[in-house]
Structure 1
């Protein structure tokens, strides 16, 4: 079923784009653009005709093919991606929206509703919400009440289920839009008076943080740029989704540095069976692209940074740390290190993950 939903979303987007650009599309347009057999393209056109998503603009006449049009050029969903990462009973819910305002709206109302959410943050169009598995009733309604909220999060095999209550515009999103977002396996909405209550299924993914350091040289390169390239590279693997890219300043007094002594880390949502492949691809990519032989990476799974690991991050901003200390710390917390002495700073970046950018960028701010 998830594969069918993904194909449906992709073909419908293609049909809408042709309709916007040309006013119509043909089966041949879909066949060539999607790189699929003509019979498959025709089957999908017929299916979407039956569903009422597409109409026939002109019937086939002689050698002129039938022309079709998507009924609405409105976005089928303002939710681009919805996915979840899991660590024990802790869950991180990500909503990647078409609009920063939409993300802000949901974030505001979700935080106001409370429920099972313990924290709500927004970075542009990406909404990140922390929760624990469980249920906690919420009160949804018109202003001043919240219009939408998450009252429960549960586990269903290898999936996470969000339990939502909504009214008004958010109710439309729950009943008509969220099922079309990438990452959503299934949505079951139900109407109760003015409210729409529903469940949203997503994969239970693993959150992975990769720290990177010492990839540049006095002659060129920049670790932040290589880390961003790494993010783009590994998320080309099916089952690995991008979350974020950050820069973290370390001890500016360290002697062996190319400039201000900054490291970087990226965050990913990963299918558990893709973890080993991710580590190998990341190691190989950084080894090939780094301009310094001292490049290093640190790879960690999990949502919460333990106090002992956070303390290492604090020391990486105030002290000169030996590689043996980095290796012992990594072993203690189950973190994979690869490369040269850059692993010291790479582990420091991982240890600082989850802190606000104003803290990450100021090595003097260590009261965390």
Structure 2
């Protein structure tokens, strides 16, 4: 299904470009530019006519070929990526938008609708929505009602299915755009009057947190840069979805610090069977690129909150913490620590995941995550 959607998107994109640039196109144009047989191009044109994506602009006469145009020059999609991670019945859905305005719109309306979502946050153009497996009814429609909401989440084998109920612009996004987002396997929609409801299928991935610290020296390197480079590297692996890169400032009164005593966190999503390989790559990369022998990594998988983690992060913002403290907490929570003294800051980075920028960047800011 994913391969068919990708092919459809490429052909439809070409048709829209030809409509804008040339005014119309023929079967031969599509066959030539897509490097496919004319019969295959004809099949796609017939299918897209049935889907009301293209129309005949001038019927063929004699040797003159039939010409077609795309119905709209609107962007194919503003939805860049949609994917999900799960941990038992806990699910986090990620929707990266090409527009910060649209991301803000969805955050506002999804949050108001409630439904099965327990927390809705926006980080730039990335919408992060936490919820649980189940269904909760939510009314959508004309203001003052919200325009869109997630009313159900279920798991089918290795897939997460979110059911979205929408009205107006969000209904257009659901029917015309979401299927084109990276990470979406398929979208099935049905209309009931002015309300459109659809099931969006994505892989059930696992969230992986990697905290990193003490990779630099006083003369060379920067942990934030190394962490970001690692996220970029891992993000190029098949099936891996980068989520975020964060920097956190810890207690500044540490004599061993190289500068301001900051640590870094990267988040990504991947299939369960890929995680061990990702960890090996991360360790090898950090060990090879670090300017300090004291580099450290902390690795956590899953979504569920773990007792003691937040308290450790708060402590690391306020005072010196020992390796023994970090190792004891890691053993209790199942977090993997690898490396030297840097495991302290690495674990602190993991423990502060989800905190606001004010908390992450100012150790004196009240700790109210």
**TM (normalized to structure 2)?**
0.88
Partner of 1:49: 45
Size of the aligned set, in residue pairs, is 357
1:251-307 per-residue CA deviation (whole Å, 9 max, x = no partner) reads: 111111110100000111111111011101111111121111211111111224323
1:191 alignment counterpart: 191
Preserved contact between residue 174 and residue 198 of structure 1 (Cα < 8 Å): yes
Offset, 1:365: 3.0
For 2:214, the equivalent position in structure 1 comes to 214
Alignment of 1:179-328 (within 5 A): 179-328=179-328
In 2, Cα distance between equivalents of 1:278 and 1:21: 44
Find the aligned partners of 2:55 and 2:250 in 1 and give their Cα distance.
59
- Between the aligned partners of 1:237 and 1:269, the Cα distance in structure 2 is 11
Mean CA deviation greater in 337-346 or 276-285: 337-346
CA offsets 1:220-264 (integer angstroms, 9 cap, x no match): 221111111111100000111011110011111111111010000
Question: Where do residues 73-92 of structure 1 align in structure 2 (5 Å cutoff)?
Answer: 73-92=73-92
Contact 2:120–2:127 (CA under 8 A) maintained in structure 1: yes
CA distance in structure 1 between the partners assigned to 2:330 and 2:33 by the alignment: 50
**Given the alignment of the two structures, is residue 363 of structure 1 paired with residue 363 of structure 2, yes or no?**
yes
Q: Is the counterpart of residue 331 in structure 1 residue 314 in structure 2?
A: no
Cα distance between partner residues in 2 of 1:67 and 1:331: 68
Question: What does 1:155-194 align with in structure 2 at a 5 Å threshold?
Answer: 155-194=155-194
Task: Note closer, same or farther for the CA distance 1:39–1:288 as it changes in structure 2 (3 Å cut).
Answer: same
Rounded Cα–Cα distance in structure 1 between residues aligned with 2:22 and 2:244: 36
Structure 1 CA distance, aligned partners of 2:345 and 2:321?
9
Q: Secondary structure at the match of 1:145?
A: coil
Structure 1: give runs of 5+ residues left out of the alignment: 32-37
Partner of 1:9: 9
User: Equivalents in 2 of 1:44, 1:310: separation in Å?
Assistant: 57
Q: Is the CA contact (8 Å cut-off) linking 1:55 and 1:69 kept in structure 2? A: yes
Q: Residue 44 and residue 181 in structure 1: after superposition, are their counterparts in 2 closer, same or farther (change >3 A)? A: farther
What is the DSSP-based 3-state SS (H/G/I as helix, E as strand, rest coil) of the residue aligned with 2:310? helix
Tell me which moved more, 196-205 or 299-308. 299-308
Spell out the pairing of 1:70-109 with structure 2 (5 A cutoff): 72-109=72-109
Instruction: Give CA deviations for 1:131-158 in whole Å, capped at 9, x if unaligned.
Output: 1111111111211111111111111111
Aligned residue for 1:149? 149
The 3-state SS of whatever aligns with 2:199 is strand
Query: Contact conserved, 1:45 with 1:54, CA < 8 A, in 2?
Result: no
> Structure 2 CA distance, aligned partners of 1:200 and 1:122?
20
CA contact (8 A) 2:31 2:41 kept: no
Following the alignment from structure 1 to structure 2, what is the Cα–Cα distance between the partners of residues 304 and 206? 12
Indicate the SS of the match to 1:307: coil
For structure 1, which segment, 351-360 or 69-78, has the greater mean C-alpha deviation from structure 2 after superposition?
A: 69-78
**Kept in 1: contact 2:209–2:350 (CA 8 A):** yes
